[in-house]
Every structure is written in C-alpha cells, then in structure tokens.
Amino acid sequence: MHSTDYFFTTKPSEIQAVFVSDLHLSARTPRLCRAFIQLIDDLCVLPNLGSVYILGDWLDAWIGDDVYLSLDETAKAKHWLTPVLMSLKKLADKRVQLFVMHGNRDFTLSNRLTKVFGGAIISEPYYLTTPQARIRLEHGDALCTDDTKYQQYRAIIRHPVVLWLLLRLPLSIRSKLGQDIKNKSSQDKASKSYTIMDVNDDTVRHAMRDCTRLIHGHTHRPAVHQMNDKTRIVLSDWRDDGKHITAEIGLLIGDEIMLASFSA
C-alpha cells in the first residue's frame, strides 16, 4: 500500500475525491485533531480535488451541535473544534465539496454545524457515479447484522422521535448519556467475538446488488475485498501510538479507489 504522500506528489492532479472515517475527534484527542488538520492542509493543494467524504464517527460521543453553537465568540475561539472547522472551511473555499455522514458516535450531527465550514450532512447509503463505476458509501455499522443486539439498539437510538427527544434533554444529561454510549461501545468490543463485530457477508452482497464499489468504515479493519467483479473498500480508524497518527484512507483516482496510508 502506497502512502498518501506518494499519491499527493506523483498524482496530485488525478485525485478527484478523498474518503475518511472513524477519526473520533474530541477535546481528549488534540493529536488526532492536529493530524486531521494536516491532512486537510495537504488536500488544499490538490488542483482537481472535487469532494471529501467523512463516512461517520468524525466526532466522538457528540451529543448535539448546541454544545458548540451555543457558545459565545470568545468561548468558540478557545474551543478544540474551532481549528478543525476553520481548516475545513479553507478547503471548502477552494470549491471542494465536503460531505459528512453519521456514525454510531456522532449521529446527532446536523447541517447547523456543517454549514459553519460549508459542508453538508449526507444520509446512508449515498451513491457516487463515475463513467465506469457506481460507488456506494456508508458508515458500516448497518452491515454488521450478526450483532443483533446492536442492531436493535441502533434502530431505537436512531429513530427520529427518539433523536428529537434526546436533543431536548439538558446538556448535562446528554453528556452522561454520550459517555455511557461510548463506554458501552468499548465494552462490546472487548466482550463480543471478532466475527460478530464484522460485516455479514450476505448483508454486504445485498448492499452491493446495485453498485460496483462499496466504501465503508466502522469495523476498523482496513482492507480491499474483491467479490467477483465488485470491490469492497474498508477504511481504518485513526490511531495514535504516542509517536505517530496513522490511518488508511480512500482516494478516488480515475475510476479506481485506492487505499493509502496516512501518517502524521
């Protein structure tokens, strides 16, 4: 697998779209925030870049846009999210379209926040079309149908009525709920089997019945899976080993989607 630096230096004019997922940015991850800003700065110099897609879990345990939008200008200036939003706005000002998809950690995001940097929320599945390919984008958690308990929870917590009620709770209660959800997710990863936490093959085949490429994240198992004449590309989470931030992201070059290793 080539690095992003390789593609950015050898094929800068051929990169049309970039796909990332599972950054899990928060006040507790300043190094991840800086690494993401570094990537966005790198993307600003790509002459023909048309779009960037964040396929879920951009933010970690996000409990509502009012957490940020209700702040006064002084508080916003000091907030950890402001440099991230401003870097994205710089990219949007270059006429790059910015799209954000909900994940299981940031499903309360709305266009109220994305319009700060000129982006937009997209629902899943979302489709792209190139001359030779039809590409399906999603976060990936809906593909993990072997985990029936999670799918039941997902159907409840993502229901519009539940979400409406959730966003009207006091911030203090939402903050605790957000932390509880994050803790439960971590516990599930530790206690559930490796297989049950991955996608279900039949569900994937059904999802790909009307596309030639599928790009998703969520599982944190980056790979390119060939399925006859169809391809499934799995993006990674962003990892911090204390020295470097690493991730595997997707690049659309022509009609091909490449996984590239990013390091900061």
Annotated ligand binding at 147? The verdict is: yes
Instruction: Please write down the long-range contacts of 186-191, taking CB distance under 8 Å and 24 or more positions apart.
Output: 188/147, 188/150
Backbone phi, then psi, for 71, in 5-degree steps?
-75, 150
Q: Are the C-beta atoms of residues 26 and 61 closer than 8 Å to each other?
A: yes
Dig out the tokens for 136 from the structure: 């399906």
Annotated ligand binding at 2? The verdict is: no
Annotated ligand binding at 159? The verdict is: no
Annotated ligand binding at 263? The verdict is: no
Query: Of the candidates 218, 57, 210, which has an alpha carbon nearest to the alpha carbon of residue 145?
Result: 218
Annotated ligand binding at 102? The verdict is: no
CA angle 78, 65, 89 (to 5 degrees): 65
Cα distance between residue 114 and residue 210, in whole Å: 29
Annotated ligand binding at 139? The verdict is: yes
Dig out the tokens for 85 from the structure: 């939003």
Residue in the block written with tokens 């998703």: 216
Annotated ligand binding at 31? The verdict is: no
Backbone phi, then psi, for 44, in 5-degree steps?
-65, -20
**Cα-based torsion angle of the residue sequence 59, 62, 67, 73 in order, rounded to the nearest 10 degrees:** 0
Cα distance between residue 40 and residue 114, in whole Å: 15
Annotated ligand binding at 24? The verdict is: yes
Annotated ligand binding at 240? The verdict is: no
The rounded Cα 230 to chain-centroid distance in angstroms is: 22
Annotated ligand binding at 255? The verdict is: no
State the binding site for Mn(2+): 22, 24, 57, 104, 139, 218, 220
Binding site membership: which residues?
22, 24, 57, 104-105, 139, 147, 185, 189, 192, 218, 220
Please state the residue numbers annotated as binding site for substrate.
104-105, 147, 185, 189, 192, 218
